[in-house]
Structure 1
Amino acid sequence: MASLTKLVSEPSTAPQAKLPKRNSLGRKLWNSRYMYAFVLPGTLFFLIYKYIPLFGSIIAFQEYSPFQGFLHSDWVGLAHFKRIFDNPEVIQVLVNTLTLSFLQIAFAFPIPILLALMLNEVRIEWVKRMLQSFIYLPHFLSWVVVIGLVTIFLRSDGLVNHMTAQWFGWDSVQFLQIPWLFKPLIVLEVIWKEAGWGTIVFLAAIAGVNPELYEASIVDGAGRWRRIWHITLPAIRTTIIILLILRLGTVLDNGFEQIFLMLNPYVEEVGNVLDTFVYYKGILQSDFSFATAVGLFKSVVGLILVVSANRLAKRFGEDGIY
């Protein structure tokens, strides 16, 4: 009995696992482990495909050779960046890229806002849902399918030429080989494919508007147009500015797949943009260092545009992206 009492009264000398303190970082991470598990796949995606490849940008400052590798290729400093501004072809490609981007900002960017405003005015709920589903369905089509449809309609023996020849007796028109028609076609394709999907963001912003504002404006005698102009648009102005800032960050990124599938020798002079130029130089001509320098230049310009647009928005009293 005495030995049992002594065993109970004496503290145990066996090693015990140390638990994290209540407010320690380890305890917080453990308590939120399921939330971080959901975040982990997206984090790994950006880490593997976005951040780790940034180390490969070092070849922009080298005369890179696959046989010598990163460590033994000769350093050339900023020579490849100097080539960007000395090469007339790069200047033409840069002009094509900027022209196409600003056309998309001027015409494709406002379309989702207009669609959201119009859908918000539809009072029959099932009609509203049906229209919204119909207009954002093209987003789920790949660019290969979209360009394939455009080709079927606009090629020399396509549907449009067949209809115009049968109805009006017109000669066949090579729509896909007309240089001045290339950029409008690109913009129209972007509008048809992506405008409906962009309305989701603006409809969500409109849904957050206080309904009492509309009720008060109706009592004051405001019509539908005045309610849109004085209530709806000011309510989604912050969302519009944030998306515009993000769009400016990709002003040198026109989308490789769409442009590449639309290019042909007849429109290459007006349709070759930085994305396709990097592909031709880096992959087809094996000029890896120069192609990397062009891509790095594009990324730096995009970063500068985002930071500048964000500061400008804050100077005018708007909320930026950070």
Structure 2
Amino acid sequence: MKVRRLTLQHFRGVSRGTVLLDGHSLLVGSNSIGKSTVCEALELLLGPERMFRRPVVDEYDFYGARYQPVDGALPEIRLEAVLTDLSPAAERRFGPHLRRWSSQRNDFADLEPGALEEADAGEWCLPVVFLGRFDPQEDDFFGGSFFAHPENVPDGLTEETSTLGTGLQAFTREDKRHCGFLYLRPNRTGNRALTFQRGSLLDTIARLEAERTGPVWEKALTDIAAVAVAGDDSGFAKILSELTDRVDRFVGLSAAEPKPVDLQVSEGTREHLREVLRLFIATQPGSHGVPFNRLSTGTLNLLVFALLTYIAELKG
């Protein structure tokens, strides 16, 4: 079984794109061009264990990190793969979901009028799709894999048309095992180096810069403490007001503190800040920053090299 075509929509750095694969394929390109994105898309579609990761997708899996409703419509990740070179066992298992594939057109043969009447109508293929979406009601992200064919059009009377994958049958974990897909992840050595954990490259840089310019962590903690998470225009304002009234009945709250019950970004300790602080990077041709660990492997390695040159300069 081979992946013949992959279509990506609203996924990571790709607004919409199609990749055609023929036989043994090698993805070649500069850093942050989308090679890792293609591999991640295939794993979402075909990886048997991928759906057990929670959440299945998050904010930065959506193109431009746009996942909130726009004009009443929810942005949706859509990844579709066409699998060809099916074994006789696969054809029997997936029979109701197969379509004819035209190698000449690189598309489904049934899209061309009269094509299926020809003696050689093309080989059988299996189209599968992954859909991902944010649910405002549940305040969580959801995703699932489905057979892309056939698609039953809901009548609007008995089915909920807004449900993820409405009209499609689930492409289950057991189904994926028949595809034989294996994704060997690269060893991303920069993951820890670019955090602020003790002994990391960024921690070393922070200590060296502190020797020159003064305390680094103290200023950061002061700035974070000044962030108004629950301001008067925040949705948390009413919640905190009600909590204050109720807690005050049982606990002696401070009269000197203007907000004896408040929300803070973190616990306000250096160690906690090390855990939650993240380096964000915006690379071309993108226009928004993403956490460093969402960048491609090649870019991550170059970032590590850049930090090493910084440390070398600081140490003279």
TM norm. shorter chain > 0.5: no
TM-score, normalisation: structure 1: 0.20
More strand by share: 2
Would you tell me which structure has more helix in proportion to its own residues? 1
Q: Which has the larger radius of gyration?
A: 1
Structure with bigger RCO (C-alpha 8 Å, 6+ apart): 1
